[in-house]
Chain A
Amino acid sequence: MSTDAIAHDDHHDEPAKGLMRWVTTTNHKDIGTLYLLFSLLMFFVGGAMALVIRAELFQPGLQLVDPHFFNQMTTMHALVMIFGAVMPAFVGLANWLIPMMIGAPDMALPRLNNWSFWIMPFAFTLLLATLFMDGGAPASGWTIYPPLSLQTGDAFPFLIFAIHFMGISSVMGSINIIATILNMRAPGMSLMKMPLFVWTWLITAYLLIAVMPVLAGAVTMLLTDKFFATSFFNAAGGGDPVMFQHIFWFFGHPEVYILILPAFGIISQIIPTFSRKPLFGYASMVYATASIAFLSFIVWAHHMFTVGMPLAGELFFMYATSLIAVPTGVKVFNWVATMWKGAITFETPMLFALAFVVLFTIGGFSGLMLAMAPADFQYHDTYFVVAHFHYVLVPGAIFAIMAAVYYWLPKWTGHMIDESLGRKHFWLSVIGVNILFFPQHFLGLAGMPRRIPDYALQFAEFNALSSIGAFIFGLSQLMFLWIVIKTIRGGQQASDQVWEGAKGLEWTLPSPPPYHTFETAPEIK
């Protein structure tokens, strides 16, 4: 049976040679590679900004940068990491893996796929160019709350246009992923037979499409407030700055799940492989993912408990947020149950997956603490919040991406990874990340505010410790870069299945897979 859809007519030519291959490619594997390389580059750019922040915070007082530049670093670090590193990495993984996992020859709309990638470098050139503009880069935090964000210098319109471009790229990518998953599954692959990674991406794409217009509208209204004398968020003109917080977080909270749901999918692929058992509770994992996505729409105001809202509102958002622990708990339980009595081995991808389960859960628990409205008044805008979301995003999303790279890199390149170096990278990362972020819980509980370049003396020790952890974690990522380069260049030949317990269509293909795969659709039983 044929799996050819739109992709069919366009994909029988050999790839172009040289640079033009990458510029004009419509092949899902090429575009996946481009996304992943771009993401790696942005990871180091955003990481360098993080190291500037932690170097300044190594001891009290102002040492290295002035406060305005410090604020630029916190803002740009967040924007680069969220929109430039984590999201493109997941889209890259989706490009590489979804067609291979569902038995499709390519993405449904290959030209759109090319466009959605190539918009990204323009968006980030615009964004990073603001560092050299009059008034510097945006410095009001990634949440760009007015009226503070309206004080941004020449960078402001560039920031808004960069966000628009990132949004267009994300929406185009999501449309493609949805069209592919819905239409191009191999015969016999019903929705409930899809790998969890595909499910989590379908739901992520759904979320992205639902919330991106909200962000686009919000930032455009900021632009018109600044340049066209509107007053959407200007109290003097009858607007309401608090409404920006509502609209931003209506986008922002689903965005948080956009950053973590594909990670859940990755972990749900890796743990069964190295436990040599099928995933426990497949159906409940799907329903839990859908529940988390639904709940993400009704919890946004927990980011703004202290802004002032009716008690009923505080109670609603507190209870709704607490509910998220239920489907998340189902997931953690299922991962643990999958490992239970499994023949577990601890290769590098599994080590990262295990660290994800433990450390993401810590991030989840601190999230529950923040969800309690009365307690949040104490934690709000402190380093406790910084510790919480970094536990979710770094040993959460980023560890999952690293686990995915170690897991599928042998399939992509045909070479096994250097397991010994991989383990060293894992231990340095896991130790570094905990030294970096765990003390920040104590700093927050003791009252240290976030987004400050200087601090009171009583916070000195934990800050120094945190900075040491940052440099261990940051520098150890050079090892990750080296492992990736080394694996691409050579190494022990990988078999088709690569890992003994790996199951799924992608493992039936040769390693590396040919340029075009599944032109003849596999049969799914």
Chain B
Amino acid sequence: MVDVCHTNSGAAWQFVLRPNRSISWRGTLLFFGSLLVISMGVALAFAAQGLWMVLPFAGLEMAALGAALYLVSRHCHQCEVINIGASEIAIERGYDRPSERRALPRIWSRVELLQPAGTWRSTRLLIRAPGGAEEVGRFLNDSERAQLAEKLCQVLRC
């Protein structure tokens, strides 16, 4: 999913890229919490009757479920922000907040949409500058990547 924000008088652009996610983190926590309460409640009730061996299995299972939901949710919370200013292109990445920043000179930057090598491979979108290249939008699908490439090209006049 791509959100485009155009600020000032045509000089600054912001593209916010996020993967699709159909549930919020709060929703995930609520779902997990409800299962945690039921599963551990049942295990504790049996433990109170002397059948404590349910407890470690319930704990292990909840840990596995929690880890799986966290991993998928974290993947879905990736974010890339492309800020195009008057002189530089800043690409920030992170989960919810930026944890990595890379800057390229705007004037030398070019956008390249590389076609896939095989039938099952995806396109790749690169912003290339003399100092190197930066791939963006890995988690987008092909059509979104093509739209983003087109928009970036318009903005950078490449």
Contacts and interface: CB of A to CB of B under 8 A. Distances in A.
B68 to A, nearest CB: 5
Contacts of B42: 210-211, 213-214, 250
B22 A189 contact: yes
Nearest to A14: B120
B28 interface: yes
Contacts, number: 152
B82 to A, nearest CB: 16
A218 B76 CA distance: 37
A185 interface: yes
B72 A2 contact: no
A140 interface: no
B35 to A, nearest CB: 6
A183 B35 contact: no
A165 to B, nearest CB: 14
A1 B1 contact: yes
B20 interface: yes
Contacts of B27: 182
B86 interface: no
Given A175-B68, A183-B23, A4 B139 contact: yes
A232 B1 CA distance: 55
Contact of B35 (A12, A187, A206, A214): A206
Contacts of A263: none
Interface string B135-152: 000111111100000000
Interface stretch (A349-357, A474-482, A514-522): A514-522
Contact of A4 (B19, B35, B60): B19
Contact of A183 (B21, B38, B56, B140): B21
Interface in A158-208: 171-172, 175-176, 178-179, 182-187, 189, 206
B140 A247 contact: no
Nearest to B18: A2
A214 B49 CA distance: 13
A232 B51 contact: yes
A184 B46 CA distance: 35
A405 B53 CA distance: 39
Contacts of B144: 1-2, 520
Contacts of A213: 39, 42-43, 54, 57-58, 60-61
Given A206-B35, A214-B42, A243 B49 contact: yes
A4 B140 contact: yes
Interface in A80-132: 108-109, 112
Contacts of B72: 5-6, 108-109, 179, 182-183
B68 A217 contact: no
Contacts of A3: 20, 141
A13 interface: yes
A521 B19 CA distance: 11
Contacts of A185: 22
B99 interface: no
Nearest to B38: A210
Contacts of B14: none
> What is the interface of chain B mostly: helix, strand, loop, or mixed?
helix
B120 A171 contact: no
B118 interface: yes
B73 A183 contact: yes
B71 A6 contact: yes
A2 B139 contact: yes
B93 interface: no
Contacts of A5: 19-21, 72, 75-76
Contacts of A172: 64
B116 interface: yes
Given A5-B76, A209-B61, A210-B35, A221 B21 contact: no
B65 interface: yes
Contacts of B26: none
Contact of A186 (B20, B69, B73, B122): B20
Interface in A1-37: 1-6, 8-9, 11-14
Which 7 pairs between the two chains have the least Cβ-Cβ distance? A217-B54, A185-B22, A213-B57, A213-B58, A216-B57, A217-B53, A12-B121
Given A12-B120, A221-B53, A516-B120, 8 more contacts: A4-B140, A5-B20, A109-B68, A183-B23, A186-B22, A221-B51, A250-B46, A520-B143
22 contacts: A1-B20, A2-B20, A4-B139, A5-B19, A5-B76, A6-B71, A12-B118, A171-B61, A175-B64, A178-B69, A179-B68, A179-B72, A182-B22, A183-B22, A183-B76, A213-B39, A217-B56, A221-B53, A232-B53, A243-B50, A243-B51, A520-B142
